[in-house]
Amino acid sequence: MILETINTLMALPGVIPNPTPVQPPGMEPVSILVNWVAWAAIVIGVIGFLASAGYLAIASFQGREIQGVKGLAVSIIACVLVAAAGTIIQVFI
């Protein structure tokens, strides 16, 4: 009885359909806007990384290196999250 139930449950994922997502009509402007926002976020992240690297170079002479390292870490994490946002959303949808 238990083995039959387990076998039935194991075969279930092969039966459930997996539809491909289709963009609704008229949503192309929204997709373009999302792409532009993602592009702008990556550019801002790169600018933040460069600014933090410059601050780190200057702050190392004053003994405040930790602030520059924090800025570098935050900008790297932000760029990774923006770049991986699509994949992260697909995991939850």
pTM to 2 decimal places? 0.60
CA–CA gap between residue 9 and residue 6 (Å, rounded): 5
| Percent residues over pLDDT 90 in the chain | 0
75: how many CB neighbours lie within 10 A of its CB? Answer: 20
Binned at pLDDT 50, 70 and 90, residue 18 comes out as: low
Q: What is the mean pLDDT of residues 72-91?
A: 82
CA–CA gap between residue 59 and residue 49 (Å, rounded): 15
- pLDDT at 87 (0 to 100): 80
In the chain, what are the domain boundaries?
A: 42-93
